[in-house]
Structure 1
Amino acid sequence: MPDNLPIRKIIHVDMDAFYASVEQMDNPELKGKPIAVGGGGTRGVVSAASYEARKFGVRSALSGAQARRNCPDLIFVKPRFDRYHEISKQIRKIFHDYTDIVEPLSLDEAYLDVTENKKGNPSASLIAKEIRERIFNEVGLTASAGISINKFVAKVASDYNKPNGQKTVNPEEVIPFLESLDIRKFYGVGKVTAEKMYQLGIFTGKDLKSKTLEYLDAHFGKSGRFYYYIVRGIHTSEVKPQRTRKSLAAERTFHENLSSEIFMLEKLDHIAKEVSKRLIKSKVSGKTVTLKIKYSDFTLQTRSKTLPYFINDKDIILETAKNLLYQEKLNNSVRLLGISMSNLNTESKSKKINKPETKTVSVQLQFDF
């Protein structure tokens, strides 16, 4: 490990099978049974699966039909996002009892910087343990946690002892920990990249560490530099308590494929209304409208237009989406349409937010994890 790196005490908390666990908690009859949150119909998709269902290969983004084939006894439950938001707020309230430097990644996971914390506790491991105990006692759900010197290692570590466990990677353990990992365990290395790395003889972190920066740049482009540094334990991204929303979207999957733009207009009207509602609720506006089209053969196409002014009005969003729809001929029948707004006015506001001060600590110092 290089000297004088920004050494922080970072906790990554990840709820265990969050949506499915909430459903099992609220309905005791579902406990211990394989359940999937999402649609079980021919066009449905799994949003989340309980650990009982995961044993059968049921996972998020799997089609409802395939999930049923994998697990004939699978129970489908409709998602209740209002309830998940409610539970998520309870969990975040617990986080803020320890630190205000909290960066939510989604409803069910977040980074916490506890280098200096409200409890004055020097041990990030004990803080993580206490947070997990409180979530279980006060909310009724289990959580897992990873604790280390930066966000990347903490994120990887949180998956190490799932469910309902935690792992601490101390400063002196970071390099051996990363070297021993299967490359598929590296956060940010997806299935396609992992396959490419295998073809290049890169199977573990140690194999990745043996490659030069020039080699990784040549084979992975801009991502090569990221891989070069993270395998050396270098990840300087701070926990950002004022995480800025960069886009907002809504989409619909249809029961039957649509083959004509005329049939899609009514669907776009509902989607634009939902996007506008979310923008207004979030008190933001955007300039760039993107139309997402997924065809019956699962190919994906996006069409975008940037306006000269910020909007959140449903009619303007719809009109722009219509123009994008008619912009060129459809390639096939359509199974999904979506509208997203980006280039939000929150991005300019985020520049005014002061970042928390970062302390630089040499790894030679005593650092209690």
Structure 2
Amino acid sequence: MVKNQSDMKLGTKLIHAGVSPDPSTGAIMTPIFQTSTYVQAAPGDHKGYEYARTQNPTRDALQNALAAIENGTHGICFGSGMAAIDAIVKLLKPGDEVVATNDLYGGTYRIFTKVFQPLGIHFRFIDMSDAATIEQHLTSQTRMIWIETPTNPLLKIIDIAACAKIAAKHKALLAIDNTFASPYLQNPIDLGADIVLHSATKYLGGHSDVVHGAIIVKDEALAQQLYFLQNSCGAVPGPQDCFLVLRGIKTLHVRMQRHCENGAAIAHFLRNHPKVDKVYWPGFTDHPNHKIAAKQMRGFGGMISFTLKNDSMEAANQVLSNTHLFSLAESLGGVESLIGHPASMTHASIPREERIKNGLADSLIRLSVGIEDVDDLIEDLNKAIG
């Protein structure tokens, strides 16, 4: 018998929590319930399932697993990370304000400013590196504080516990995009966050073969609001996608260990390279807020950004176009290494003047370090940088 999941070590929890063998067959893997509806014995007499937009057993298993590994009580799954963000912002009403970090995923900025701002929800983007300065930006209309940590793509670290205290004081929700860290490295609910968001497309899925989003909360009323939005708006994932994320979670700990090991080796290689200028990685002891990262994270991850001393697009393009193991592609968190250009790819939806003001140079290169042999990855980068 598997012991109580609250007593499990994290590596064990990732494999066992929230899931159990199928009671009808004993299948150790959760079946893919590929159905749109469920037969009822009589009106209202069913086995807990009526229609697959509302509930699906494969999705239920994943939602339970996500809640367990983030130390929440409820997981709510969506067809993509953006669909999950959409649901979170729909908790608000016109006139409400969101104070968000100024270094964040371009798709998040786009949905905030292009979809919800015209509907009357206000957004303020600020530097949250010093949590003590956040409070001065809050108003009586602030209903949510939105942070990524580490941020995308400059790998800034934001003090979650400090933000939680500020949010509670002002009766605002604290929402954390935990995609870059994953539940293996960081559990924001333990630090006071109200809402944890994942693009499960990334580290949770881990194999670049699924698009998926997830929200985890610990408050019952908040969970019911989000389940209502999930069902009413219908941006739900299919059972096959849920199965793939469930499978990915089972190896999250071993993958993240290698991501962290490879990330550390490559960060130090880049810092010592004569043609590399700035390297953004929270594991450096001189990285701003490194001590906070060391306190709230179990490791420093496999995401790295850097610039070249020849700070030109021509030099950056030379690197971006000449790697072989680092594939030029959007996304992150897969077993294979990716290289990207935020200004033209993941963050192109943010106006250039805003990107530059926030420190995102046109020539910035972002790496998602995979789990290949690190010597091969270093050789690949070394040849591309020249």
Greater gyration radius: 1
What is the TM-score when the length of structure 1 is the normalising length?
0.29
Using the size of structure 2 for normalisation, the TM-score is 0.28
Q: Which structure carries more strand by proportion?
A: 1
